[in-house]
Structure 1
Amino acid sequence: MELAVQHDLAELEVEQGGTRIRVVRERSAQAGERAPRAAAPGAAGALPTEGLEPALEASLVKVEAPMVGTFYRAPGPDTAPFVSEGDLIKEGQVLCIIEAMKLMNEIESKLTGRVAKVLVENGQPVEFGQPLFLVEPRR
């Protein structure tokens, strides 16, 4: 808990030897605490889907960040991204890495489909539940 307070983390999850511990810190609006981050302009629940057909947009599935951390599209700085827009993906395929507390966490697809849109730039911080990709599901 001390670590969460020290680094202003809202959530901390640790897994070791098959045991998982998750700590969620409740925030209050008392003086001296940081104000909550303002949403990005135009981010009132809307996803950047410009250029996508309306019928396709309605059928897309969001792949969300399962943790807070730094988003990486590739396993290394000089390597190709795990996936790009237009790529066909399979369930269990690695889509990206989220670095959290110096640990590299591979984020795997939970569905088969086609990557319609990559929503986050490489090296950008992501929040828990933030959409990372839009995927057109396929059977």
Structure 2
Amino acid sequence: MELDFNELRDLLTVINQTDIAEFTLKSGDFELVVRKSSQNGESLPTVASSAPLPAANAAPAAPLPTVVTTPLPAANPPAPMPRANDRLVDIISPMVGTFYRAPAPDEPPFVNVGDRIRNGQTVCIIEAMKLMNELEAEVSGEVVEILVDNGEPVEFGQVLMRVNPA
């Protein structure tokens, strides 16, 4: 399995913004373990990776470089945008990724401003680490604002849409 630096950084960012305490990714001779630890009450991820040991009869391999990892500070979600109407319910991005309004480029959007939605209805897709994550509404009502353009990157905790609940 090959992960470039940007994919690894994105993976660590997504894991850091969840309640996952430990994450292990194994593929062939590659293993990545990410554990969050508490230090001074602050949640911090740590990273360890390993490669398999060479077979006993294998020729000596070049020494592996030593990599020292330092815990990354936990990301703080951005402050929510102020609302004009406190009755509106925000639909918030649960992860870092790319926002898509439709299931495919040639398909109509899941929802438009003015549409009535129901609880559990798919309202958009957030692509993270090449995985398409359908985001479902947690409230029924009318979509009054869509705050993100199609194909735009979004942050964890970012308001995507506002709904006037039914």
Query: Do the aligned residues in 1 keep the contact of 2:80 with 2:157 (CA within 8 Å)?
Result: no
Higher relative contact order (Cα pairs below 8 Å, separated by 6+ residues)? 1
User: How many residue pairs get matched?
Assistant: 111
Query: Do the aligned residues in 2 keep the contact of 1:4 with 1:10 (CA within 8 Å)?
Result: no
Read off the aligned partner of 1:82 and give its amino acid letter.
Answer: F
Corresponding residue for residue 112 of structure 2: 84
Structure 1, gaps ≥5 residues long: 14-19, 29-35
Read off the aligned partner of 1:137 and give its amino acid letter.
Answer: P
Corresponding residue for residue 121 of structure 2: 93
Q: Distance in 1 between matches of 2:145 and 2:7?
A: 35
Q: Distance in 2 between matches of 1:123 and 1:60?
A: 24
Question: Identity, % of aligned pairs?
Answer: 48
Corresponding residue for residue 81 of structure 2: 46
Corresponding residue for residue 130 of structure 2: 102
Read off the aligned partner of 2:132 and give its amino acid letter.
Answer: M
TM-score for the superposition, normalised by structure 1: 0.67
State which structure, 1 or 2, has the greater radius of gyration over its C-alpha atoms.
2
TM-score for the superposition, normalised by structure 2: 0.57
Structure 2, gaps ≥5 residues long: 17-21, 24-34, 37-43, 46-71
Query: Do the aligned residues in 2 keep the contact of 1:116 with 1:134 (CA within 8 Å)?
Result: yes
Q: Distance in 1 between matches of 2:9 and 2:98?
A: 15
Aligned-pair Cα RMSD in Å: 3.1
